[in-house]
Amino acid sequence: MRVSLRDVAAHAGVSVKTVSNVVNDYQHVTPAMRARVQRSIDALGYRPNLAARHLRKGRTGIIALALPELGNPYFAELAAAVIDSAAAHDYTVLLDHTGGRREQELLVCRGFRARVIDGLILSPIELEAEDLGDRAENVPLVLLGEREYDLPYDHIAIDNVAAARAAVRHLIGLGRREVAFIGARRGRSEPAQLRVRGWREELTAAGLPSDAGLVAATDGWGHADGEAAMIRLLDSGRRPDAVFAYNDPMAIGAMRALHARGVRVPEDIAVAGFDDVVEGRFAAVSLTSVSPDKEAIGRLAVESVLARLGGRTPAPRRVRAGHRLAERESTLGRAGAFGAPGRDT
């Protein structure tokens, strides 16, 4: 039989209203009374009816998270961070996969699920400012990623230029003098442009080459794209002594190509990636990678939605989450600590 508020109140010897105040974490409850009610909650195994609680507030208790690539390890880990943060606030997360396609992103942001969600967290790839500007839905929207919009929405991202510069600075500090970039996306892609910019700025500051011959453009950002791009670089006659890849899957693909050609990592060519996904930490040669604070991104996104629902933070926020460089074997060699935590940048 389900334990009710009334059962807890009778066990604690208090009113149902007092129990409700404790369960809903209202401030005006004395510590002694809160502890008394909590002991009864624990003793009886009471679990609040979250659906009823949300309905009383006119909400569904669901936040939608729309991501472009659920098969990408970064987005999978980011989704886990959002889900964990939402659960801490008694919210459920509904996942949408847009594939990075404009029509799907439009469908999501213009209220496809407006009746069943309280807020939307969206990582857009193809949407333009006008697509978001004429959005009629009043469901709070929080943006993730590097697309910049001059619009009244909260936006959570890391500083991609600074992060890319940190990775390239690390490679230069190890004595590498010809650093290639893999993953300059063909067509428009703001994240790729920002990371290429950081790569170029750091090389230029060090007086090192950053010409087009060191940039390998790709149509996608998967393992096969990284492998093919690395092969093209090797076949071009240009022999870099380091590679900075747009993301970890591409870096792992590049290391596969290097292994197949008998090129040693990092002795001949050092490799660094971006996103610090679990797969890279357990590659045959553990991968040095820029590590965005995914937990912070997930937490900040959920907190932004809830703040909007609560009528707080009327002005849109541009929030920069942190990042660090996790230095591992693909740049340091076997003497480097496996799975080393890296350093803040």
The whole-number pLDDT of residue 138 equals 75
Q: Which tokens belong to 148? A: 């910049």
Rounded Cα distance between 263 and 261, Å, is 6
Would you say residue 27 has pLDDT above 50? yes
Tell how strand 242-245 and strand 215-218 pair up: unpaired
Region 334-340 average pLDDT:
51
Phi, psi of 159 (to 5 degrees): -85, 95
- Residues 298, 135 contacting (CB under 8 angstroms): no
Q: Which residues are within 8 A (CB) of 50 and not within 5 positions of it... i.e. 6 or more apart?
A: 61, 90
Rounded Cα distance between 231 and 177, Å, is 20
The whole-number pLDDT of residue 202 equals 98
Would you say residue 344 has pLDDT above 80? no
User: From the CB of residue 19, how many other CB atoms can be counted at a distance below 10 Å?
Assistant: 25
Would you say residue 157 has pLDDT above 60? yes
Q: Which residues are within 8 A (CB) of 263 and not within 5 positions of it... i.e. 6 or more apart?
A: 234, 269
Q: Which tokens belong to 336? A: 């480097």
What is the per-residue pLDDT across 83-135, written as a single tens digit (0 to 9) for each?
999 998 889 999 999 988 889 998 888 766 667 889 999 999 888 888 887 77
Domains of the chain (ranges; CATH) run 5-48 (1.10.260.40), 62-158+294-321 (3.40.50.2300), 160-292+325-344 (3.40.50.2300)
Ranking 9-13, 18-22, 136-140, 294-298 by mean pLDDT, the lowest is 136-140
Tell how strand 179-185 and strand 215-218 pair up: parallel
Region 161-175 average pLDDT:
97
326 Rama class: left (phi>0) / alpha (psi -120 to 50) / beta: beta
pLDDT band at 343 (very low <50, low <70, confident <90, very high): very low
Rounded Cα distance between 133 and 306, Å, is 21
Scanning the chain, the segments in alpha helix (DSSP H) are 5-12, 16-23, 31-44, 50-56, 73-88, 102-109, 129-133, 160-173, 190-205, 223-235, 248-260, 278-281, 294-309, 329-332
What is the per-residue pLDDT across 38-80, written as a single tens digit (0 to 9) for each?
998 888 888 766 555 545 555 678 999 999 988 889 999 999 9
pLDDT band at 174 (very low <50, low <70, confident <90, very high): very high
SS3 130: helix
The whole-number pLDDT of residue 149 equals 82
The whole-number pLDDT of residue 123 equals 93
The residue among 19 and 185 whose pLDDT is bigger is 19
What is the per-residue pLDDT across 255-302, written as a single tens digit (0 to 9) for each?
999 999 999 999 999 999 999 999 999 999 999 999 999 999 999 999
The whole-number pLDDT of residue 20 equals 81
Give the long-range contacts of residues 261-269, CB within 8 A, separation 24 or more.
Answer: 261/231, 261/234, 263/234, 265/330, 266/174, 266/242, 266/329, 266/330, 266/331, 266/332, 266/333, 267/333, 268/241, 269/240, 269/241, 269/242, 269/243
Region 147-176 average pLDDT:
93
The residue among 304 and 220 whose pLDDT is bigger is 304
pLDDT band at 196 (very low <50, low <70, confident <90, very high): very high
SS3 267: coil
What is the per-residue pLDDT across 246-257, written as a single tens digit (0 to 9) for each?
999 999 999 999
The whole-number pLDDT of residue 53 equals 56
Would you say residue 240 has pLDDT above 70? yes
Would you say residue 313 has pLDDT above 70? no
User: From the CB of residue 292, how many other CB atoms can be counted at a distance below 10 Å?
Assistant: 23
β-partners of residue 184 are: 217
Q: Which tokens belong to 187? A: 């067509």
